[in-house]
Amino acid sequence: MTEARLILDTLAAMVEPLHQSIPGSNEVVLHDLAKVPHSIVAISGHVTERQVGSPATDSLLRAVASGSPETAVAYETRLPGGRELRSSTLICRDSEGTPVAALCINIDVTMWR
């Protein structure tokens, strides 16, 4: 098994438990960065209504295209219908520093505003 596959499998096992442990309307999404743009390989929750095989967000696509995606924590985003999200994107790298996966958490904070 390759190192990238081991990282992705380990993170995929965390998607559902993380989703269940975060209160409120949220989703946890795992992206395989080798499969961009249709990079979602695991998802739990329905905040953005995406599913396995769906594309990454524009912001993740831009970050990957830049060649140096970085972890971003607690940033604000909006869905097309106007709902507000607090999102975090954690970039996971292999032992050589190559970005392999993005573990993303999206929490709908509309009702908190």
Question: The whole model's pTM is what?
Answer: 0.95
Question: What is the layout of strands, in order, in the sheet containing 99-108?
Answer: 40-44, 26-32, 99-108, 84-93, 72-78
pLDDT in tens for each of the 113 residues of the chain? 899 999 999 999 999 999 999 999 999 999 999 999 999 999 999 999 999 999 999 889 999 999 889 999 999 999 989 999 999 999 999 999 999 999 999 999 998 87
Side chain identity at residue 85, one-letter code: L
8 CB-near residues (< 8 Å, 6+ apart): 30, 32, 41, 100, 101
